[in-house]
Amino acid sequence: MSQRKIKNMEEFAAVSGISRPTLSKFFNDPDSVRRSTRDRIEHALTQFDYRPNVYAVNQNRRTTKNIGVVLPNLADPFFSEIGREVELACIAAGYSPILLSSHGSPQQERANLESLRALKPAGVLLAPFGKASDRKDIESFNDAVPVVLFDANVEGAGEAFVGADNFQSVDLIVEYLCRSGQPPCFFEMKSPLNPNANKRRNAYLESMSRHGFEAQVHQAEGEGWHFEEIGRSEGGRLLKEGRFETDTILCSNDRLAIGMLSAAYSLDIRVGHGDGCALRVAGHDDHPFSRFTCPSLTTIAQDYAAIANRAAHTLFKILDTEARPSTREETLFEGKLVMRDSA
Amino acid sequence: MSQRKIKNMEEFAAVSGISRPTLSKFFNDPDSVRRSTRDRIEHALTQFDYRPNVYAVNQNRRTTKNIGVVLPNLADPFFSEIGREVELACIAAGYSPILLSSHGSPQQERANLESLRALKPAGVLLAPFGKASDRKDIESFNDAVPVVLFDANVEGAGEAFVGADNFQSVDLIVEYLCRSGQPPCFFEMKSPLNPNANKRRNAYLESMSRHGFEAQVHQAEGEGWHFEEIGRSEGGRLLKEGRFETDTILCSNDRLAIGMLSAAYSLDIRVGHGDGCALRVAGHDDHPFSRFTCPSLTTIAQDYAAIANRAAHTLFKILDTEARPSTREETLFEGKLVMRDSA
DNA sequence: AGATTATATTTACGCGCGTAAAAAATAGAT
DNA sequence: ATCTATTTTTTACGCGCGTAAATATAATCT
């Protein structure tokens, strides 16, 4: 293979017998040259070790082939999974994804967008914090670069939004819980960062009233991203004090549910839908760990792959047509009920 | 603030009244210019919206300020945590980290190094798969760019290695388990990807013999990164068939232990060190979820932050002195016993 | 004040590649 | 074989910045 190290395109033109402008065309789009010359170039590439200098290439392009991918928190397996799907979609489409985590801090989200500016990305896929995000920042960034939001919506920001249909999914699990036992109360954080949390609460309230049951919402104190810890401490307190009116708890997300299960275990409360069980707990998201909780967690599976791919391809389409869409589309994917042992 | 958008350094030189070469010096190192001119430049920066073009800058630098960070699998919270620590250390030192996950595939690890080549990073922090990694690939990459390995060692590869002292940590937990109940058997994967797994098994064998107990190793079939699943299915099988000679199981890592706990729960085996408990389970790593398992997992805490920071600073030192170290240093950090409820 | 040293400016070239325009070569069709 | 459409080559310039050398200016010291 790589016999000689080639310094630049000029040199590669010399050894391959192809003119430099043609090589330049080839590297931008191999299909833009004649089949026979493409073959000659590709053959030369097996003989000589050369690849275009990324920095020189991007300096002269009006837009790079980079796509920024900004996630709220990579330490959350939910986001690392969806981030991976997005990454794969970008690579498959010939783009270079640049993955940035905001580490749970809206301030870092701003910083990430700021540093992306310097990289002149063709587009950005952003899973924002939601209302904690700096809307103006996203909008001003979006003026310069096409942005597609996913997972969490910031109304009106970005060219499009792709996410989960919380109303459908919450209704699905509420319906199941009502049908199979006592109607659920709802357990969530008091001041959730994520707009999905608000949608889920509203979906719960609406669904309960539609089914003719009285809704009960319990809100846990606590800030930040330690959902499991909050679920455990606050959930444990509520359990101990007997504050739940029903034996069925629907948690706003799986991570809270994991904490709740941990609390129930400590209190020797048997969770599940079988005989001898005193409590049912359900979650939302089908977190990678939810199948290994004790008992395994009944939850709603979001279609990670579908959301990630739709978001990516929505962006690709904008980049291909080089035109911002006139209307801001919102695409919601339905969740699926995953019945396990906890409810 | 940003009144006018400045196109390039030439233009910024015009509006700020500072010559372009001086500006260039400033952006490379603000301390390299006189205090008074630095103030003038920084004041001008508040008036005009300008920042150097990354691509043009990096084209002309022999080495960039980028540091590649390659992790085996970002979906594993262990790595996302340690990755974050490394990222922060890089930023604090004025470098730009570029985070790449190999998604559990050694092939992707090669691809990541390959794509890093094009980015001309100043250095790379690599958490390799270990023996599954392509040693020659790492070595040839290391010829061009300084590489510091962390977490998993590939003997002789890279300028240095920073990781956990498995012999110390395994001995610590074996000693505790022996002292507080029946001596443990060891549960691991049959063909582990990670060299730490082998070290831990050997450490277990050595420690057991030192304490005068007979060692028992159980190896689970199964490939890939679904450790919890493997721990559950194989662990469940062994439990059901009564194959463990002792009531104490030391798992090679927390993720296997999480699966084992899940299996025990399904089989109605009470885990813990209290009365009425039939099984003790311990892990290794202090996985972020290990405090929320049922029961919470007794394990060994690795000092993520210390390992990450030492790895980063070892690299920084090499970059500062611009000299590869003559001897390959291996730094090991001790683990701490985290006593929870499972053992 | 003058001498010395540190710092800034002027001038100019190079990095590796994109890209435009005109000329030359090739492929496909008649 | 000739014509035409397509592709490649030749030539040349520009991108934004690093950087070197010579010169000019400012700061520090005696």
Contact B191, B179 (CB under 8 A): no
Nearest-CA residue of chain A relative to B260?
A292
- Mean pLDDT (chain A) is 93
Ordered DSSP codes for A94-137:
T-EEEEEE-TT-HHHHHHHHHHHHHT--SEEEE---STTS-HHH
**Protein residues with beta carbon less than 7 Å from any atom of strand C:** A 7-10, 20-21, 23-24, 27-28, 34, 36, 52-53, 56-57, 59-62; B 17-22, 25, 32-34, 36-38, 59-60
* Radius of gyration in angstroms for the set of CA atoms belonging to chain B, rounded to a whole number: 25
| Residue A95 φ then ψ, to 5° | -100, 165
| Residue B284 φ then ψ, to 5° | -155, 125
SS3 string of chain B?
CCCEECCCHHHHHHHHCCCHHHHHHHHHCHHHCCHHHHHHHHHHHHHEECCCCHHHHHHHCCCCCEEEEEECCCCCHHHHHHHHHHHHHHHHCCCEEEEEECCCCHHHHHHHHHHHHHCCCCEEEECCCCCCCCHHHHHHHHHHCCEEEECCCCCCCCCEEEEECHHHHHHHHHHHHHHHCCCCEEEEECCCCCHHHHHHHHHHHHHHHHCCCCCCEEEECCCCCCHHHHHHHHHHHHHHCCCCCCCEEEECCHHHHHHHHHHHHHCCCCECCCCCCCEEEECCECCCCCCCCCCCCEEEECCHHHHHHHHHHHHHHHHHHCCCCCCCEEEEECCEEECCCCC
- On whether any CB of chain A is under 8 Å from the CB of B104, the answer is no
pLDDT at B324: 84
| Farthest-apart Cα atoms in chain A, separation | 82
Best residue in B79, B292, B296, B340 for a mutation probing chain A (most A CBs within 10 Å): B292
pLDDT at B3: 61
Tokens of residue B259, six digits: 């699966």
Band of residue B326 on the pLDDT scale cut at 50, 70, 90: confident
Indicate the DSSP class of residue A30. Answer: G
- Mean pLDDT (chain B) is 93
Model confidence pLDDT, tens digit, residues B12-46: 999 999 999 999 999 999 999 999 999 999 999 99
More confident position, B338 or B62 = B338
pLDDT at B321: 82
pLDDT above 60: residue A2: no
Q: What percent of chain B has pLDDT over 70?
A: 99
Q: Which of A84, A262, A294 sits opposite B75 (nearest CB)?
A: A84
pLDDT at A67: 96
* Cβ–Cβ gap A292/B75 under 8 Å: no
Model confidence pLDDT, tens digit, residues B265-311: 999 999 999 889 999 999 999 999 999 999 999 999 999 999 999 99
Q: Which of B118, B261, B292 sits opposite A232 (nearest CB)?
A: B292
Reduced to 3 states (helix: H, G, I; strand: E, B; else coil), residue A290 is coil
pLDDT at B62: 72
Indicate the DSSP class of residue A73. Answer: -
Which helix (H) or strand (E) segment holds residue A149: the answer is strand A147-150
Work out the number of other CB atoms within 10 angstroms of the CB of residue B35.
9
Put simply, whether the predicted model's pTM sits higher than 0.85 gets the answer yes
Band of residue A61 on the pLDDT scale cut at 50, 70, 90: confident
Which helix (H) or strand (E) segment holds residue A37: the answer is helix A35-47
* Cβ–Cβ gap B54/A293 under 8 Å: no
Amino acid letter at B42?
Answer: E
Contact A109, A133 (CB under 8 A): yes
Q: What percent of chain A has pLDDT over 70?
A: 99
| Residue A284 φ then ψ, to 5° | -155, 125
Which helix (H) or strand (E) segment holds residue A10: the answer is helix A9-16
> Cα separation of A69 and B220, whole Å?
37
Model confidence pLDDT, tens digit, residues A265-320: 999 999 999 889 999 999 999 999 999 999 999 999 999 999 999 999 999 999 98
Question: What residue has its CA nearest to the C1' of D26?
Answer: B34
Tokens 């967690």 map to which residue? Answer: A297
∠ at Cα A264 (A261, A268), nearest 5°?
135
Beta bridge partners of B331: B162
Task: Label residue B249 exposed, middle or buried (CB < 10 Å: 0-12, 13-18, 19+).
Answer: buried
Band of residue A60 on the pLDDT scale cut at 50, 70, 90: confident
Band of residue A62 on the pLDDT scale cut at 50, 70, 90: confident
Amino acid letter at A122?
Answer: A
- On whether any CB of chain B is under 8 Å from the CB of A85, the answer is no
Domain B66-164+304-332 grouped into CATH 3.40.710.10: no
Of B333, B47, B321, give the one whose Cα is nearest residue B166: B333
Contact B205, B171 (CB under 8 A): no
pLDDT at A274: 86
> Cα separation of A309 and A304, whole Å?
8
Domains A66-164+304-332 and A166-301 alike in fold: yes
Indicate the DSSP class of residue A332. Answer: E
Q: What is the distance in angstroms measured between the alpha-carbon CA of B51 and the sugar C1' of C4?
A: 37
* Cβ–Cβ gap A288/B53 under 8 Å: no
pLDDT above 90: residue B192: no
> Cα separation of B130 and B34, whole Å?
48
Model confidence pLDDT, tens digit, residues B118-174: 899 999 999 999 887 878 999 999 998 999 999 999 988 999 999 999 999 999 999
Contact B77, B289 (CB under 8 A): yes
Contact A160, A96 (CB under 8 A): no
Q: Which of A54, A103, A265 sits opposite B84 (nearest CB)?
A: A103
B25 nearest nucleotide via C1' and CA? D18
> Cα separation of A331 and A148, whole Å?
11
> Cα separation of A185 and A280, whole Å?
10
Indicate the DSSP class of residue A269. Answer: P
Model confidence pLDDT, tens digit, residues A140-185: 999 989 999 999 999 889 999 999 999 999 999 999 999 999 999 9
- Average pLDDT estimate for A124-132: 91
* Non-local CB neighbours of B226 within 8 Å, separated by 6+ positions: none
Model confidence pLDDT, tens digit, residues A226-267: 999 999 999 999 999 999 999 999 999 999 999 999 999 999
Beta bridge partners of A163: A332
Per-domain boundaries in chain A: 9-52, 66-164+304-332, 166-301
- Average pLDDT estimate for A109-121: 92
Strands B48-49 and B66-71: unpaired
Q: What is the distance in angstroms measured between the alpha-carbon CA of B41 and the sugar C1' of C4?
A: 28
Strands B280-282 and B248-251: parallel
CA torsion B203-B206-B210-B214 (nearest 10°) is 110
- Average pLDDT estimate for B76-104: 92
Per-residue flag: A25 CB under 7 A of strand D: yes
Q: Domain B166-301 has what CATH class?
A: alpha beta
Tokens of residue B277, six digits: 């408990």
Query: How distant, in Å, are the alpha carbons of A147, A217, A230, B217, B273 from that of B245?
Result: 58, 48, 39, 10, 17
> Cα separation of B79 and A158, whole Å?
31
> Cα separation of B138 and A190, whole Å?
49
pLDDT at A3: 61
